Structure 1
Amino acid sequence: MRVLIRADASPSIGSGHIARCLTLARALRGQGAHVAFACRALAGHRLHALETEGFETFALPNFYSGEDPQQAIESLLPWQADIEALEQALVDCSGFDWIIVDHYGLDHHWQTAARRLAPRIMAVDDLATRTYNVDLLLNQNLSATPTAYEGLLPDHCRTLLGPRYALLRDEFRCGAIEIKPKARRVLVNFGGFDAAMQTHHAMLALADYHDLEVDFVAGADNPAWARMQLMVAGRPHWRLHSFVSHFHQLMMETDLFIGAGGGTSWERAAMGLPTICIAVSNNQQANSEVIATVGAHIYLGPRETVTVEQLRDAVGFVMGNQGLRQSLARHSRRLVDGSGASRVAVALAGALLQVRPATQADARLLFEGRNAEAVRRVSLDDSFIDWDPHCQWLQASLVNPQRLLLVGETSDGPVGALRYDLQGSEAIVSIYLFETRLGLGWGRALLTRGEAFSSAHWPQLRSFTAQVLPGNQASLELFRQAGFTQDTCVFTRVLKDIPHE
């Protein structure tokens, strides 16, 4: 699979779009995909960092004719110019299976034109305020709901909504930090650029807390850098970092985080790190409010309304209140599990998933897959199947015209197995994923491909039926999402009306 990511970074845009796309790119590469980035060569671009990680990069012009250099980050770019620049950059490049666009300035016009370069388009979004022409849409924010996108998406578009799909690096599956009786260490970070100078704002608020150890991560391009250096110089417990390669470790060691409402929200949530949040841009406000509503962080409001005194008081209130910090940690860890990037990568790869009839050569694969403890636990028959009976069953299944046994595969190997048993115009479906594929969303793609294959194989098919154990929540949800209707624990999906005699 070949994937092109279109995203930018600059002091006004920030580095969050590139950061989260980089996390997704790593997950895709882990599945065997080739991933490239196309970015404008703006001040503060991240092209060199992407190249250092081994990703192919394409530099686009830093400015287009007719573009207002003072426009807000949510404003639209001249989409025709961006598409033309992209086409020119890719002129000698092989085609792509997907283009992922993570950019507030590129709307449905750009997405429609980009189909000249790839058959499938995915958008990473935070706004839910525009029309989209995409096949897959990701909004990892807690504020993202199907209602928010009503009328904005094409009918065929699949949505990945909420922090279940938060794009987190692998290290954030580490477990919860310790909540101490009193907070002694604080970490402050407002993104890679912090054009709004909120790090300096936090310094002013923390100046009277002489016993606190504080790490400020700000970036040397911060407009208040010189002033911050002066403030840190006289405080032995303060440290100012322009860049850190151990940010995760700093988070593990801290008791309280002060920062923005962007992508780092999910890193903090995964660790159960108590946080005082200030939104530094309009697109962070809704998500920050909803996270506060579920009790997962303290939200003070947009930066324009938060005074130094308000932040100082909030720090004092949270610092000595262990019960509050324990509550924040508990509620935040319920939001994310750290597997979001893998789930999104699976959704992309699932569009290219292939199914094929099983053969005798699949005997060992199916034997081990069916006997995996996690699979047997949710099977109607949870007994261990011995090798000889399994081989006899497989041989009989392969020559049975009323049975179709399929294996799903993608570029990095087998995904799962499907069995269809034909009874008149109905097929009884059974599905399981191989153990390493569980919990990431492969079931939906596998079921979709299997349905298409079996319908072509048996033109007389009118419906599918599946029986699921009451406790198998993953399968119950899978069949619901696939359009099956439920009667107790039996699911049925009707393909077409049967004509009356």
Structure 2
Amino acid sequence: MTSSCVVFRADAGLNIGTGHVMRCLTLADALRAEGAKVVFITRQHRGHIIPTIRDRGYRAITLLGDTGADYGAHTATPVHANWLDADWRDDAAATRQALRDEGADWLVLDHYALDRVWQEAALPGGVRLLVIDDLADRPHLADVLLDQNVGRLAQDYDGLVPENYDRLIGPAHALLRPEFATLRPDALRRRETLKRPERLLVTLGGIDRDNATGVVLDALAGIAGIDQMKVSVVMGANAPWLDDVKRQARALPMHTQVDVAVPDMARRLTQTDLCIGAAGSTAWERCCLGLPTLQLALADNQTAIARSMAENGVALALPHPDESDFAAALAQGLTQLSDPSAYRAMARRAAALTDGTGAGHMAARLLGDAHD
């Protein structure tokens, strides 16, 4: 039996962030482990992470980024059309050719700028489609749709995907690397026995275009007793404020370490006690490990996720760093989660959302369907 071929279409960049490509890489690893051939199609936007794709052992078919081209005529232009920064028809044609050349069985599409119109133009006959989405704001021609966000309902996609096709909804399906499931028992034991949080991790996305990290560190520096806590900051190699944050960290009253593009995030999340994190796809990594989090919505698509997680008691929602009450809310949140009973209650609620096995299950589903 020949191996299945799965092609991913996803972008990263200063405007997009890195999360879409990173969660695709997680699924790609699970597919490769089952013997599939995997190829990426991605644009060379400023802040792209094409070297990361290639370092993980995948071939990347690159399209020109930051073209300045208009999106092109469309019956209902997607809200995030500017993320493509190219004519959608050219993008669809290039993708269609690559799918034919590679003999693809599946296309995995993770891109807010692309919808059913693009999909109809891009998909050759016989190629099936998995769409990874968070917004429920545009139609898709999906055989399988994955929305891994808490608070999302299957009926939110009524009229947006074919009625008889699969909708996998909620963080139980979250695409996490296998080490999260492996370390989950150790992490949950640590949460149950912790007497007082002493280690704080700040991780606000691979790009953090507006330097929310710097605002967080400034606010932390003004909190009484913060010098008793060890602070770690994780940033992406393309983060535009990385050097500024490193300089800032050296002048802070608490021990603060800045690490870049770490390969062992699961271990770090297991060994930390609290997190200040963005409400992006890494939220499910923290939930899998039961890590209590003070959470920020740093992009429009994160607002609903952060609100729903706070309403369900799996994270504390902080105001945007630009808000005048941010520092006070951060201090209050740290005090709240210093209480052992509140800490453990949040850890248990977060851990109940996902066990970290979603990527493996999705890979088995796609490859099983490919051979049907």
How far did 1:319 drift? 4.4
Residues 299 and 134 of structure 1: is their aligned pair in 2 closer, same or farther, counting only changes over 3 Å? same
- 2:163 aligned residue: 155
Aligned runs of 1:160-239 on 2, under 5 Å? 160-173=168-181, 174=183, 175=185, 176-177=187-188, 178-179=190-191, 180-208=194-222, 209-235=226-252, 237-239=255-257
Residues 279 and 22 of structure 1: is their aligned pair in 2 closer, same or farther, counting only changes over 3 Å? same
> How many angstroms apart in 2 are the aligned matches of 1:305 and 1:118?
50
> How many angstroms apart in 2 are the aligned matches of 1:306 and 1:282?
19
Do 2:291 and 2:347's aligned partners in 1 also have CA atoms closer than 8 Å? yes
How far did 1:317 drift? 1.8
> How many angstroms apart in 2 are the aligned matches of 1:61 and 1:75?
16
> How many angstroms apart in 2 are the aligned matches of 1:181 and 1:167?
31
- 1:404 aligned residue: none
Do 1:59 and 1:89's aligned partners in 2 also have CA atoms closer than 8 Å? no
Residues 88 and 150 of structure 1: is their aligned pair in 2 closer, same or farther, counting only changes over 3 Å? closer
> How many angstroms apart in 2 are the aligned matches of 1:155 and 1:222?
41
How far did 1:73 drift? 8.1
Do 1:278 and 1:302's aligned partners in 2 also have CA atoms closer than 8 Å? yes
> How many angstroms apart in 1 are the aligned matches of 2:55 and 2:111?
23
Residues 2 and 220 of structure 1: is their aligned pair in 2 closer, same or farther, counting only changes over 3 Å? closer
Superposed CA offset, 1:108-143 (max 9, x none): 111111222752111100000111111111101112
Do 1:204 and 1:308's aligned partners in 2 also have CA atoms closer than 8 Å? no
Superposed CA offset, 1:27-78 (max 9, x none): 111111111100001122222221222212101111346337xx99823543
> How many angstroms apart in 2 are the aligned matches of 1:321 and 1:306?
26
Structure with larger RCO (C-alpha < 8 A, sep 6+): 2
SS in 2 for 1:129: coil
Residues 325 and 258 of structure 1: is their aligned pair in 2 closer, same or farther, counting only changes over 3 Å? same
Aligned runs of 1:46-85 on 2, under 5 Å? 46-64=49-67, 66-67=69-70, 74-75=80-81, 77=84, 78-85=87-94
> How many angstroms apart in 2 are the aligned matches of 1:148 and 1:306?
34
Aligned runs of 1:295-306 on 2, under 5 Å? 295-305=313-323
Do 1:164 and 1:337's aligned partners in 2 also have CA atoms closer than 8 Å? yes
> How many angstroms apart in 2 are the aligned matches of 1:232 and 1:65?
37
State which of 2, 7, 12 in structure 1 corresponds to 2:5: 2
Query: Which of 1 and 2 has greater Rg?
Result: 1
> How many angstroms apart in 1 are the aligned matches of 2:331 and 2:40?
43
> How many angstroms apart in 1 are the aligned matches of 2:125 and 2:68?
23
How far did 1:80 drift? 0.2
Gap runs ≥5 in structure 2:
72-76
SS in 2 for 1:327: helix
> How many angstroms apart in 1 are the aligned matches of 2:348 and 2:264?
24
Do 1:197 and 1:224's aligned partners in 2 also have CA atoms closer than 8 Å? yes
SS in 2 for 1:272: coil
Gap runs ≥5 in structure 1:
355-501
State which of 28, 33, 40 in structure 1 corresponds to 2:31: 28
Query: What percentage of aligned pairs have identical amino acids?
Result: 34
Aligned runs of 1:466-485 on 2, under 5 Å? none
- 2:343 aligned residue: 325
Q: Which has the higher strand share?
A: 1
SS in 2 for 1:188: strand
Residues 36 and 220 of structure 1: is their aligned pair in 2 closer, same or farther, counting only changes over 3 Å? closer
> How many angstroms apart in 1 are the aligned matches of 2:257 and 2:112?
34
Do 2:173 and 2:359's aligned partners in 1 also have CA atoms closer than 8 Å? yes
How far did 1:195 drift? 0.7
How far did 1:318 drift? 3.1
- 1:289 aligned residue: 307
Residues 291 and 312 of structure 1: is their aligned pair in 2 closer, same or farther, counting only changes over 3 Å? closer
- 1:17 aligned residue: 20
Residues 345 and 221 of structure 1: is their aligned pair in 2 closer, same or farther, counting only changes over 3 Å? closer
What amino acid is the match of 2:274?
A: L
How far did 1:247 drift? 2.1
How far did 1:95 drift? 1.3
How far did 1:85 drift? 2.8
SS in 1 for 2:356: coil
Do 1:281 and 1:302's aligned partners in 2 also have CA atoms closer than 8 Å? no
- 1:143 paired with 2:164, answer no
Do 1:5 and 1:37's aligned partners in 2 also have CA atoms closer than 8 Å? yes
What amino acid is the match of 1:249?
A: R
Aligned runs of 1:240-255 on 2, under 5 Å? 240-255=258-273
State which of 111, 119, 123 in structure 2 corresponds to 1:103: 111
State which of 114, 122, 131 in structure 2 corresponds to 1:123: 131
How far did 1:6 drift? 0.1
Aligned runs of 1:243-392 on 2, under 5 Å? 243-305=261-323, 307-354=325-372
What amino acid is the match of 1:74?
A: H
How far did 1:88 drift? 5.2
> How many angstroms apart in 2 are the aligned matches of 1:308 and 1:234?
21
How far did 1:260 drift? 0.4
TM-score by length of 1: 0.66
